[in-house]
Structure 1
Amino acid sequence: MERPVASSLPDAVQGHWADRWAPASLRPYLRLARIERPIGWWLLLLPCWWSAALAAIAAGQPWPNPIHCILFLIGAVAMRGAGCTYNDIVDRDLDTRVERTRDRPLPSGQVSLKQALAFLALQGLVGLAVLLQFNAFAILTGLASLGIVALYPFMKRFFWMPQIVLGLAFAWGALMGWAAAFGSLGWAPVLLYLGSIAWVVGYDTIYALQDIEDDEIAGIKSSARFFGERVKLGVGLCYGLTLAFIGAAFTAADAGPVAFVGLALFAAHLAWQVVRIDRNDGAGALRLFRSNRDAGLVLFAAMTLDCLVRFA
């Protein structure tokens, strides 16, 4: 007897338009791209916007380049979707063993492997079209991330901290905004990149708390399992590194006091997350994970305001 497929996945935004209004034939592809879970592209986008704002601070501009910010938005949605599609292709057998993922389009049979590969190629072409709008150095910088992206899905099989590899990929935008603005890199974007990696490891450890029991059964490794009972300490250390590196990036870019006030607000939000972590509350972990979008937007807004204040 064929197993019924859920109308939406457990960690999807309830009542999202992709599940309510999109044609039935398109819904499996939208789920492959995680359209009904926009938090993923937000978290991929934010380091790009931070980097664009940091470049504007360093260059004495009144605000981040708006065209670059729009291109980063389109690229983040496309490449996050492509990354998720690729991850599902690689993990299609593992996903059948985890409650939260077994109803995804590939393991549930809603989409064939050939269809998923074609959809992956389509999203990749959109991402490439966006990347080609930047200068040559930024294009090469963006292409350099593909190896890390290709490696990530395999890490959970033998590496206890696959979130580090995810961080290397998801934080790449911290280099891109600066590269697009200057056609080069420097200490400020590198420090921002290191801080963004630590941020990704921290918030994805919280996200992984949802799957601890299933991951143990399936033999999937994660930072949540690695930290175990000391997960608050582990996430706290990651967030501490986040703040130290971003603060150093601000100093290297000669950021003003408004940016540092934003960093303090960002720090308060991260501390609140650590206090609220409960290993036995999967739903709460998902809420904390999603709250990082708001924390990241606060930091970006402060960096942009710092540009305006200093330019005025």
Structure 2
Amino acid sequence: MSASASQPAGRLALYLDLIRWDRPAGWLLLLWPSLSALWLAADGWPGWHLLAVFVLGTILMRSAGCCANDVADRQYDRHVQRTAQRPVTSGRIAPREALLLGAGLAFAAFLLVLTTTAAAVAWSVPALLIAIAYPYAKRFFAMPQAVLGVAFSFGIPIAYAAAQGSVPALAWALLLANLFWVLAYDTEYAMVDRDDDLRIGIKTSAITLGRFDVAAVAAFYLLHLLLWGALLWPQVGGLWFGLGLALALAQVGWHLWLIRARSREACFRAFRLNHWLGCTLFVGLALELALRG
């Protein structure tokens, strides 16, 4: 370990690298569907308290997930071009240290949930367990992205639980709709590492789908928008919500154009742009609710 890394400022820099602080796309992908659900459950503006809980909680939980994921994958990540220099993989942070940091971040997120409702607290437990299980899914399942889809969509039922004290059937249907979006963007992500993952024996949707990967990504995106629109149109359908769907569909077209040749750089770019799709859907929904309120 370098002398600089042993200093407080050096350790902080390593911790920030571990939780991907300079790469906010990850927590934004979690945040937008959670905020959409929060606005829906509150029928508009949810108040500063719930907004702060979900924004801060999302950042904390995504950061905790990075810690757990990097520890679980450290033996694999060293063989992948994109991940070989991650702090745990490269030995600059010990696995135990990373797990302690992750546990502290998850506990901080749990303290935030405690300020909401008993239902939200109860549903946060399976959400945490699924997030912990995801890194191991790629050892056993042909489509581990589906497990990630559940983990990355669980903010939806928790938002309803926090705003209404219960989770209606609509929340679970929206979770399913959002799962297809996760399948789309995480398959793009998996396409970046496909050659490395094939060599080391990791299972991913990009490998399972093979030459049908681009077509499957298109289908996942379309299923997401179709379900999201069909489920919410009776409740918030209108000009702004419809415009949000249309702009999201345009972004899907752009993503498919980017990944058509399956190059690493283009697939990674498409993945990183996905948070704008989620933002577009949220803004359309929020504007629709605001103008009606």
Aligned residue among 195, 219, 231 for 1:249:
231
Cα deviation per residue 1:140-199 (whole Å; 9 max; x = unaligned)?
112221221121111111211110000000111122222211111223222211111110
Give matches, 1:204-283, under 5 Å. 204-251=186-233, 253-283=235-265
Normalised by the length of structure 2, the TM-score is 0.92
Structure 1 counterpart of 2:5: none
Q: Give the match's secondary structure for 2:100.
A: helix
Give matches, 1:53-202, under 5 Å. 53-56=39-42, 59=43, 61=44, 63-202=45-184
8 Å CA contact 2:34, 2:54 repeated in 1: yes
CA-based RMSD: 1.8
Cα deviation per residue 1:52-79 (whole Å; 9 max; x = unaligned)?
12223xx3x4x34332122111011110
Count of matched residue pairs: 288
Query: Which runs of 5 or more residues in structure 1 are unaligned?
Result: 5-21
Q: Give the match's secondary structure for 1:220.
A: coil
8 Å CA contact 2:117, 2:162 repeated in 1: yes
8 Å CA contact 1:79, 1:127 repeated in 2: yes
- d(CA) in 2 for partners of 1:282 and 1:254? 38
- The alpha-carbon deviation at position 124 of structure 1 amounts to 1.4
As a proportion of its length, which structure holds more helix? 2
Aligned residue among 10, 16, 21 for 1:35:
21
Moved more, 46-55 or 162-171: 46-55
Q: Give the match's secondary structure for 2:9.
A: coil
Query: Which runs of 5 or more residues in structure 2 are unaligned?
Result: 3-7
8 Å CA contact 2:236, 2:285 repeated in 1: no
Structure 1 counterpart of 2:34: 48
- The alpha-carbon deviation at position 297 of structure 1 amounts to 1.0
- The alpha-carbon deviation at position 279 of structure 1 amounts to 4.7
- d(CA) in 2 for partners of 1:179 and 1:249? 19
Q: Give the match's secondary structure for 2:74.
A: coil
Is 1:305 matched with 2:291? no
Query: Are the structure 2 counterparts of residues 205 and 120 from structure 1 closer, same or farther at C-alpha, using a change threshold of 3 Å?
Result: same
Q: Give the match's secondary structure for 2:222.
A: helix
- d(CA) in 2 for partners of 1:223 and 1:279? 17
Structure 2 counterpart of 1:293: 275
8 Å CA contact 2:134, 2:148 repeated in 1: yes
Cα deviation per residue 1:215-248 (whole Å; 9 max; x = unaligned)?
0111011111112221111101111210122113
- d(CA) in 2 for partners of 1:163 and 1:50? 22
Normalised by the length of structure 1, the TM-score is 0.87
- d(CA) in 1 for partners of 2:254 and 2:160? 30
Structure 1 counterpart of 2:12: 26
Q: Give the match's secondary structure for 1:134.
A: coil
Following superposition, which runs of at least 4 residues in structure 1 exceed 3 angstroms of deviation? 251-257
- d(CA) in 1 for partners of 2:165 and 2:201? 43
Structure 2 counterpart of 1:10: none
- d(CA) in 2 for partners of 1:247 and 1:52? 17
Q: Report % sequence identity.
A: 37
State the AA in 2 paired with 1:307: L
Q: Give the match's secondary structure for 2:78.
A: helix
8 Å CA contact 1:52, 1:65 repeated in 2: no
